[in-house]
Amino acid sequence: MTRRLVLLLALVWPSTGSAQAILNVEALQADESEEIHAEVSGRLRWAEGNTDIFQFGGDLGIGVLGERHWIRGYAGLEHLEKNEKNILDNRYVHIRYNYRFSDRFRTFHFLQVQANENLFLNRRFLLGSGLRYRLLGGAGSRLEVGSGLMFEAERLDEDRLEPGEEADTEAVRMANLVVGSGPIGEGNRWVTVVYYQPNVKGFEDYRLSGEVGLVVKVVSALDLNVSLTWRHDSRAPTGLDEDDVGLRTGVTYHIR
Protein backbone atom coordinates (compact mmCIF):
# COMPACT_ATOMS: atom_id res chain seq x y z
CA MET A 1 0.00 0.00 0.00
CA THR A 2 1.47 3.32 -1.04
CA ARG A 3 1.26 6.30 1.32
CA ARG A 4 2.18 9.87 0.43
CA LEU A 5 1.94 13.15 2.26
CA VAL A 6 1.94 16.25 0.07
CA LEU A 7 2.93 19.52 1.72
CA LEU A 8 1.90 22.55 -0.36
CA LEU A 9 3.53 25.86 0.59
CA ALA A 10 1.58 28.31 -1.57
CA LEU A 11 2.00 32.00 -2.24
CA VAL A 12 -1.54 33.14 -2.99
CA TRP A 13 -2.61 36.48 -4.47
CA PRO A 14 -6.36 36.62 -3.71
CA SER A 15 -8.71 38.64 -5.92
CA THR A 16 -11.66 40.58 -4.57
CA GLY A 17 -13.87 38.00 -6.19
CA SER A 18 -17.45 37.76 -7.32
CA ALA A 19 -20.29 35.60 -6.18
CA GLN A 20 -19.62 32.41 -8.12
CA ALA A 21 -16.72 31.13 -5.93
CA ILE A 22 -16.51 27.79 -7.77
CA LEU A 23 -14.26 25.36 -5.90
CA ASN A 24 -11.75 23.70 -8.24
CA VAL A 25 -11.55 20.16 -6.85
CA GLU A 26 -9.29 19.10 -9.72
CA ALA A 27 -6.56 21.31 -8.26
CA LEU A 28 -6.99 19.69 -4.83
CA GLN A 29 -7.05 16.00 -5.64
CA ALA A 30 -3.99 13.78 -5.52
CA ASP A 31 -2.61 11.34 -8.08
CA GLU A 32 -5.11 8.62 -8.97
CA SER A 33 -2.44 5.92 -8.75
CA GLU A 34 -2.42 6.10 -4.96
CA GLU A 35 -4.44 4.05 -2.46
CA ILE A 36 -4.31 6.22 0.68
CA HIS A 37 -3.29 9.83 0.16
CA ALA A 38 -3.32 13.14 2.02
CA GLU A 39 -2.66 16.77 1.22
CA VAL A 40 -1.86 19.61 3.61
CA SER A 41 -1.32 23.26 2.65
CA GLY A 42 -0.54 26.33 4.69
CA ARG A 43 -0.13 30.05 4.06
CA LEU A 44 0.85 32.92 6.35
CA ARG A 45 1.55 36.59 5.61
CA TRP A 46 2.04 39.46 8.08
CA ALA A 47 3.13 43.08 7.76
CA GLU A 48 2.91 46.26 9.83
CA GLY A 49 3.77 49.86 9.00
CA ASN A 50 2.19 51.93 6.27
CA THR A 51 -0.13 48.98 5.58
CA ASP A 52 -1.12 46.41 8.20
CA ILE A 53 -1.75 42.98 6.65
CA PHE A 54 -2.50 39.65 8.28
CA GLN A 55 -3.28 36.62 6.12
CA PHE A 56 -3.49 32.94 6.93
CA GLY A 57 -5.02 29.95 5.24
CA GLY A 58 -4.72 26.27 4.59
CA ASP A 59 -6.31 23.16 3.11
CA LEU A 60 -6.52 19.60 4.34
CA GLY A 61 -7.50 16.63 2.20
CA ILE A 62 -7.57 12.87 2.66
CA GLY A 63 -8.74 10.10 0.37
CA VAL A 64 -8.81 6.37 -0.28
CA LEU A 65 -8.58 4.95 -3.81
CA GLY A 66 -9.52 1.35 -4.52
CA GLU A 67 -10.03 -0.65 -7.68
CA ARG A 68 -13.56 0.76 -8.19
CA HIS A 69 -14.13 3.30 -5.42
CA TRP A 70 -12.50 6.67 -4.71
CA ILE A 71 -13.57 8.61 -1.59
CA ARG A 72 -12.11 12.03 -0.71
CA GLY A 73 -12.75 14.77 1.81
CA TYR A 74 -11.40 18.34 1.82
CA ALA A 75 -11.59 21.27 4.23
CA GLY A 76 -10.00 24.68 4.00
CA LEU A 77 -10.03 28.33 4.99
CA GLU A 78 -8.55 31.61 3.79
CA HIS A 79 -8.55 34.80 5.88
CA LEU A 80 -7.08 38.20 5.03
CA GLU A 81 -7.18 41.40 7.09
CA LYS A 82 -5.94 44.77 5.84
CA ASN A 83 -5.80 47.70 8.28
CA GLU A 84 -8.01 45.68 10.69
CA LYS A 85 -10.69 45.21 8.03
CA ASN A 86 -11.65 41.78 6.67
CA ILE A 87 -10.84 41.54 2.96
CA LEU A 88 -11.18 37.78 2.57
CA ASP A 89 -12.87 35.18 4.76
CA ASN A 90 -13.53 31.90 2.95
CA ARG A 91 -14.24 28.43 4.42
CA TYR A 92 -15.35 25.16 2.85
CA VAL A 93 -15.88 21.43 3.39
CA HIS A 94 -16.14 19.15 0.35
CA ILE A 95 -16.81 15.38 0.22
CA ARG A 96 -16.50 13.54 -3.10
CA TYR A 97 -17.06 9.95 -4.28
CA ASN A 98 -16.31 8.26 -7.62
CA TYR A 99 -17.28 4.81 -8.80
CA ARG A 100 -15.12 3.55 -11.67
CA PHE A 101 -16.86 1.42 -14.30
CA SER A 102 -13.71 1.29 -16.44
CA ASP A 103 -10.52 3.26 -17.12
CA ARG A 104 -12.59 5.70 -19.19
CA PHE A 105 -16.00 5.85 -17.50
CA ARG A 106 -16.92 6.73 -13.91
CA THR A 107 -19.51 8.51 -11.78
CA PHE A 108 -18.98 11.55 -9.57
CA HIS A 109 -20.99 12.52 -6.48
CA PHE A 110 -20.27 15.41 -4.13
CA LEU A 111 -21.48 17.39 -1.13
CA GLN A 112 -20.12 20.85 -0.34
CA VAL A 113 -20.70 23.50 2.34
CA GLN A 114 -19.05 26.88 1.83
CA ALA A 115 -19.00 30.41 3.28
CA ASN A 116 -17.28 33.53 1.95
CA GLU A 117 -17.77 36.82 3.76
CA ASN A 118 -16.32 39.12 1.09
CA LEU A 119 -18.70 37.59 -1.49
CA PHE A 120 -21.73 38.23 0.80
CA LEU A 121 -22.05 34.43 1.11
CA ASN A 122 -23.11 33.33 4.59
CA ARG A 123 -23.69 29.76 3.42
CA ARG A 124 -23.74 27.74 0.21
CA PHE A 125 -24.86 24.08 0.20
CA LEU A 126 -24.29 21.90 -2.87
CA LEU A 127 -25.32 18.30 -3.51
CA GLY A 128 -24.59 16.86 -6.95
CA SER A 129 -24.12 13.75 -9.07
CA GLY A 130 -23.09 12.95 -12.63
CA LEU A 131 -21.03 10.94 -15.09
CA ARG A 132 -17.49 11.50 -16.34
CA TYR A 133 -15.82 10.11 -19.48
CA ARG A 134 -12.19 10.11 -20.59
CA LEU A 135 -12.01 11.01 -24.29
CA LEU A 136 -8.25 10.74 -24.59
CA GLY A 137 -5.59 9.21 -22.38
CA GLY A 138 -2.16 7.71 -22.50
CA ALA A 139 1.51 8.76 -22.39
CA GLY A 140 0.74 11.13 -19.52
CA SER A 141 -1.98 13.06 -21.41
CA ARG A 142 -5.72 13.09 -20.80
CA LEU A 143 -8.89 14.86 -21.84
CA GLU A 144 -12.06 14.23 -19.82
CA VAL A 145 -15.60 15.58 -19.92
CA GLY A 146 -18.36 15.27 -17.35
CA SER A 147 -21.95 16.33 -16.82
CA GLY A 148 -24.54 16.03 -14.09
CA LEU A 149 -26.98 17.91 -11.87
CA MET A 150 -26.57 19.63 -8.53
CA PHE A 151 -28.91 21.18 -5.99
CA GLU A 152 -27.78 24.57 -4.68
CA ALA A 153 -29.06 26.46 -1.62
CA GLU A 154 -27.56 29.84 -0.74
CA ARG A 155 -27.96 32.38 2.01
CA LEU A 156 -26.45 35.82 1.34
CA ASP A 157 -25.80 38.57 3.88
CA GLU A 158 -29.03 40.55 3.60
CA ASP A 159 -27.45 43.60 5.25
CA ARG A 160 -25.16 43.96 2.22
CA LEU A 161 -27.79 43.41 -0.48
CA GLU A 162 -29.75 46.06 -2.33
CA PRO A 163 -33.52 46.37 -1.73
CA GLY A 164 -35.38 43.70 -3.70
CA GLU A 165 -32.46 41.25 -3.85
CA GLU A 166 -33.21 37.85 -2.29
CA ALA A 167 -31.03 36.62 0.56
CA ASP A 168 -32.20 32.98 0.37
CA THR A 169 -32.20 31.20 -2.99
CA GLU A 170 -32.44 27.63 -4.24
CA ALA A 171 -31.67 26.29 -7.71
CA VAL A 172 -30.95 23.13 -9.66
CA ARG A 173 -27.93 23.58 -11.89
CA MET A 174 -26.09 21.48 -14.44
CA ALA A 175 -22.56 20.52 -13.35
CA ASN A 176 -20.48 20.39 -16.54
CA LEU A 177 -16.71 20.12 -16.67
CA VAL A 178 -13.78 19.67 -19.05
CA VAL A 179 -10.38 18.58 -17.72
CA GLY A 180 -7.17 18.33 -19.74
CA SER A 181 -3.51 17.75 -18.91
CA GLY A 182 -0.32 16.70 -20.65
CA PRO A 183 3.49 16.63 -20.42
CA ILE A 184 5.80 19.50 -21.36
CA GLY A 185 9.38 18.31 -21.53
CA GLU A 186 10.74 16.01 -18.85
CA GLY A 187 8.76 16.03 -15.61
CA ASN A 188 6.68 19.14 -16.45
CA ARG A 189 3.00 19.28 -17.36
CA TRP A 190 0.13 21.62 -18.15
CA VAL A 191 -3.35 21.39 -16.62
CA THR A 192 -6.58 23.10 -17.63
CA VAL A 193 -10.07 22.91 -16.10
CA VAL A 194 -13.38 24.46 -17.20
CA TYR A 195 -16.63 24.42 -15.17
CA TYR A 196 -20.01 25.48 -16.61
CA GLN A 197 -23.00 25.57 -14.22
CA PRO A 198 -26.23 26.90 -15.76
CA ASN A 199 -29.58 27.03 -13.98
CA VAL A 200 -31.83 24.40 -15.56
CA LYS A 201 -34.80 26.81 -15.36
CA GLY A 202 -32.99 29.48 -17.39
CA PHE A 203 -29.57 29.25 -19.00
CA GLU A 204 -29.15 33.04 -18.78
CA ASP A 205 -28.32 32.36 -15.10
CA TYR A 206 -24.97 30.58 -15.19
CA ARG A 207 -21.54 30.35 -13.58
CA LEU A 208 -18.43 29.76 -15.68
CA SER A 209 -14.90 29.08 -14.45
CA GLY A 210 -11.65 28.40 -16.29
CA GLU A 211 -8.15 27.67 -15.03
CA VAL A 212 -4.86 27.11 -16.87
CA GLY A 213 -1.88 25.88 -14.88
CA LEU A 214 1.73 24.84 -15.31
CA VAL A 215 3.58 22.37 -13.07
CA VAL A 216 7.38 22.56 -13.37
CA LYS A 217 9.67 19.95 -11.83
CA VAL A 218 12.34 21.73 -9.76
CA VAL A 219 13.95 18.64 -8.22
CA SER A 220 12.72 15.07 -7.86
CA ALA A 221 10.40 15.86 -4.93
CA LEU A 222 9.64 19.54 -5.54
CA ASP A 223 7.27 21.12 -8.09
CA LEU A 224 6.62 24.76 -8.94
CA ASN A 225 2.93 25.54 -9.67
CA VAL A 226 1.60 28.56 -11.55
CA SER A 227 -2.08 28.95 -12.49
CA LEU A 228 -4.28 31.67 -13.98
CA THR A 229 -8.00 31.58 -13.14
CA TRP A 230 -11.05 33.34 -14.52
CA ARG A 231 -14.59 33.07 -13.16
CA HIS A 232 -17.87 34.63 -14.26
CA ASP A 233 -21.25 34.90 -12.53
CA SER A 234 -24.01 36.16 -14.82
CA ARG A 235 -26.15 37.20 -11.82
CA ALA A 236 -23.74 38.49 -9.21
CA PRO A 237 -25.37 40.58 -6.45
CA THR A 238 -25.20 44.35 -6.79
CA GLY A 239 -21.86 45.53 -5.43
CA LEU A 240 -19.88 42.55 -6.76
CA ASP A 241 -18.20 42.20 -10.15
CA GLU A 242 -19.41 39.51 -12.54
CA ASP A 243 -15.81 38.60 -13.47
CA ASP A 244 -13.00 37.46 -11.23
CA VAL A 245 -9.37 36.98 -12.38
CA GLY A 246 -6.58 35.62 -10.21
CA LEU A 247 -2.98 34.40 -10.34
CA ARG A 248 -1.70 31.70 -7.99
CA THR A 249 1.88 30.50 -7.53
CA GLY A 250 3.28 27.95 -5.14
CA VAL A 251 5.44 24.88 -4.63
CA THR A 252 4.51 21.26 -3.90
CA TYR A 253 6.80 19.03 -1.89
CA HIS A 254 6.24 15.25 -2.10
CA ILE A 255 7.15 12.96 0.79
CA ARG A 256 7.04 9.24 0.10
pLDDT in tens, 165-198: 899 999 999 999 999 988 888 878 888 999 999 9
The whole-number pLDDT of residue 18 equals 34
For 159, list phi and psi in degrees, rounded to 5.
Answer: -70, -15
Which CATH fold would you assign to the domain 3-255?
A: Porin (2.40.160)
The whole-number pLDDT of residue 12 equals 34
**In the chain, which stretches have pLDDT less than 70?**
1-34, 39-43, 50-51, 139, 221, 250-256
Listed in order, strand segments (DSSP E) in the chain are: 3-13, 36-47, 53-65, 69-82, 85-99, 105-116, 121-138, 141-156, 168-174, 176-184, 188-199, 202-219, 222-233, 243-255
The whole-number pLDDT of residue 3 equals 37
The residue extents of the domains of the chain are: 3-255
3-class secondary-structure state, position 26: helix
Q: To 5 degrees, how large is the angle CA 193–CA 195–CA 196?
A: 150
Residue 2 DSSP label: -
The whole-number pLDDT of residue 14 equals 35
Residue 100 DSSP label: B
Q: Structure pTM?
A: 0.79
DSSP bridge pairs for 178: 145, 194
57-65 contacts: CB < 8 A, separation 24 or more?
A: 57/12, 59/8, 59/28, 61/28, 61/29, 61/30, 62/37, 62/38, 63/29, 63/30, 63/36, 63/37, 63/38, 64/35, 64/36, 65/32, 65/34, 65/35, 65/36, 65/37
